[in-house]
Amino acid sequence: MPLVQASNTLSNFTGTANFMPLLGALIADSFAGRFWTIMAGSIIYELGLISITVSAIQPTLQPPPCPTQMNCKEASALQLWVLYISLLLTSLGSGGIRPCVVTFAADQFDMTKSSVAARSWNLFNWYYFSMGMATLTALTFVVYIQDNVGWGWGLGVPTIAMALSIIAFSVGSPLYNRIKPGSSPFVRLAQVIVAAVKKRKEVVPEDPAHLYENRELDAAISLHGRLLHTNQFNNATDSKPPPLYIESRNENALSEFFQYGQLEFYFLPHLLTCLASPFNKLAL
């Protein structure tokens, strides 16, 4: 594969792999749940690893060797399609794994402030330490196998490790604490934006107690306390909700204060940070 084509393929793979977690998180939070999203993503990821390992072992799925590196024969359309499908499967699989692993692990423990302070260890420290050690192993041990033994074993080792992890994860499934999925956070955030536009001319009450809140509807997204009221973006909430909303739970009727707080304090800062990240890397 020419260098330019290889660079484009790598860029497309990286972009797809970084976009898929957004879709995976949406699926997990909306209806599938974290456990089944991780399981489905792991299986898809494993299929991608198997296919790319087979392509490294099977000579018919590779272009002929070119020791001189001159006038080398490029890969055929079939060989490229096998490579592209393998990369796509690993991208799709990572989209189900990456956004759910940490939160699913946190679901297994009491993450209240008092409980975390009482423990002598920290879940997230151990998680990122494990990720760092896995990265170190991949960049040393696995790369050594690829350079000195062959690409078949170099790709086969991660494939076998992933298969063992899927087995271990499925065996422990009866012991897991599974949180039922709630409504999609993107739907709630869209409701806030629509309500803010519609109510931009409304007069906000001076007493924050008149702002609309529904603790029953927010139970699934406010497990560890509620947000404080602010004076920013005041037209996003409704001061006099109609009683019909409480009975019918028509979530399109108005925007609730806690939803608005999620948009202001969590979504917008994270979105702006993600948008600015590529420019920061270019500047560095």
**Does the pLDDT at position 245 exceed 70?**
no
In a domain, residue 180? The reply is: no
- 42 with 166, same domain: the answer is yes
Angle (CA) 152-154-155 rounded to 5° is: 70
Structure tokens at 234: 């005041």
* pLDDT tens-digit series, residues 59-91: 888 887 777 777 778 888 888 898 899 999 999
* pLDDT tens-digit series, residues 199-215: 777 776 676 666 666 66
Structure tokens at 103: 């939160």
Structure tokens at 93: 């699989």
- 72 with 117, same domain: the answer is yes
In a domain, residue 210? The reply is: yes
Tell which residue, 154, 134, 133, 135, has the closest CA to residue 143. Answer: 154
Mean pLDDT of 168-180: 88
CA separation for the pair 23, 25 (Å, rounded): 5
In a domain, residue 11? The reply is: yes
The last residue of one of the domains, among 109, 144, 175, is 175
pTM comes to 0.71
Task: Label residue 252 by pLDDT band (50, 70, 90).
Answer: very low
Structure tokens at 152: 């078949």
In a domain, residue 163? The reply is: yes
- 119 with 17, same domain: the answer is yes
Phi, psi angles (nearest 5°) of residue 120: -85, 0
Within 8 A by CB and 6+ apart from 214, the residues are 246, 256
The last residue of one of the domains, among 149, 175, 201, is 175
**Does the pLDDT at position 192 exceed 60?**
yes
Enumerate the H helices of 58-112 as residue ranges: 77-97, 101-107
In a domain, residue 243? The reply is: yes
In a domain, residue 56? The reply is: yes
Number of structural domains the chain divides into: 2
Structure tokens at 15: 């972009």
Q: What's the farthest any 2 CA atoms get from each other in the chain?
A: 79
Report the SS3 class of residue 81.
Answer: helix
Enumerate the H helices of the chain as residue ranges: 3-27, 34-57, 77-97, 101-107, 113-118, 123-137, 143-148, 151-171, 185-198, 243-248, 257-262, 268-283
Tell which residue, 209, 212, 271, 214, has the closest CA to residue 236. Answer: 212
Q: DSSP letters along 62-74, please?
A: SPPP-TT-SSPPP
- 52 with 112, same domain: the answer is yes
The last residue of one of the domains, among 140, 175, 210, is 175
**Does the pLDDT at position 18 exceed 70?**
yes
Tokens 């940490």 locate to 102
CA separation for the pair 224, 83 (Å, rounded): 45
* Highest mean pLDDT, choosing among 40-44, 106-110, 173-177, 212-216: 40-44
Q: For residue 44, what is the domain's CATH number?
A: 1.20.1250.20
Sign of the four-CA dihedral 28, 130, 173, 222? negative
- 156 with 217, same domain: the answer is no
Range of the domain at 141: 3-175
